[in-house]
Amino acid sequence: MTRTLLTATCIAALLVGCTTSNDASADSTVQTGTTASDEASGRPFSTTEITTFDEPWAMTFLPDGRLLVTEKRGRLRLLDVAATGATATSISGVPNVAYGGQGGLGDVVLHPEFASNNLVYLSYAEAGSGNTRGAAVARARLTLDGSGGALSQLQVIWRQVPKLSGQGHYGHRLAFGPDGHLWITSGERQEFTPAQDMASNLGKIVRLNDDGSVPADNPFAKDGGVAAQVWTLGHRNPLGIAFDAQGRLWNHEMGPRGGDELNLVERGANYGYPIVSNGNHYDGRDIPDHDTRPEFNAPRISWTPVISPAGFVIYSGSRFPDWRGDGLIGGLSSKALVRVEFDDGTAREAARYDMGERIREVEQGPDGDIWLLEDGKDGRLLRLTPAS
């Protein structure tokens, strides 16, 4: 399997999605924008650089059009993308994060009724005792003012169980479903077997009420404990989750040595890791493919060589009408924006656009433009508009 521009440290740690540790950068400022004409490359969009962030990980738009961006070191940033020369400000009250490896401040999403309750949800790596760590999800009220804003009444509503050593495979992507439930992807923390252990919520996709309580109709609710949280199991490092227009849930995840996956997430299903995978162990040992064990749900798309997927949105806007209903996935090692077409529960890669840098996050803007965050120090915020 080919992986580009991975450091020796990353390879040794077997961290497909790793990033290097960098000093914090200066405050980000909206630039006048450098627009690249992409006609020669055949890409159906033009790319405008807006600003840069220090190790950005996720973003979400507020109802007023401003943008929230998380940085792995533990800063939540607010940016008015419409104001030339505006400086990104920091939101206070962010919880302490366990920064390092793949850990730090992760996803940010708004409550479906944010306009009335001002609730935001953050995922992050949290330190435990004895040099252990685990993903956590907190919710808080966001108050904005002229100089930035603050989080208050912060409450941790979910944690990975158990906390483990190591700094990889947290997952911790968040999404609210059409029915108002909160969905959380939980990686297996590079420990393999927890993905099949129902005494752990590692290697699972979790479904909760918006306050962190467990819905009574979850598939394993009667089992109690952390098993009650689980919607699906047998996942490795899920770094993208999105609902389509029909209300179906999709997730993508990094495979081991080969075998990145796009899955249709079905109630109570087992996706087989580490018993089956379309990739192999990093030490060369074989993992049986999905087709050898039909009792496990197989991916709708499997990538070898890998794309190292990160960030995921299913497009619903009008600016790119031919893409409506398509999935857009950021590629880390592939340095690409990957477009996926869906057809009644099936999926196929439709196009891959070379972006020249690792793409950490994908988001749809309020007007239907597409926004990307590059990975790492001085990661650029890019706006994609239809090619003229």
- Which sequence positions are flagged as catalytic? 169
Report how far residue 10's alpha carbon sits from residue 246's, in angstroms, rounded to the nearest whole number.
39
Tokens at 28, concatenated: 């980000």
136 touches 100 (CB < 8 A): no
Contacts of residue 32, defined as CB under 8 A and 6 or more positions apart, other chains included, come to 84
Can you list the positions of beta strands (E) in 255-297? Answer: 260-265
Beta strands in 87-226 (DSSP E): 89-92, 105-110, 119-127, 133-145, 148-159, 171-176, 182-186, 204-208
AA identity, residue 39: E
CB-based contact 18:10 (threshold 8 Å): yes
Q: What are phi and psi of 180, to 5 degrees?
A: 90, 0
* Residue 359 · residue 310 · CB < 8 Å: yes
Instruction: Count the neighbouring beta carbons within 10 Å of the beta carbon of residue 125.
Output: 25
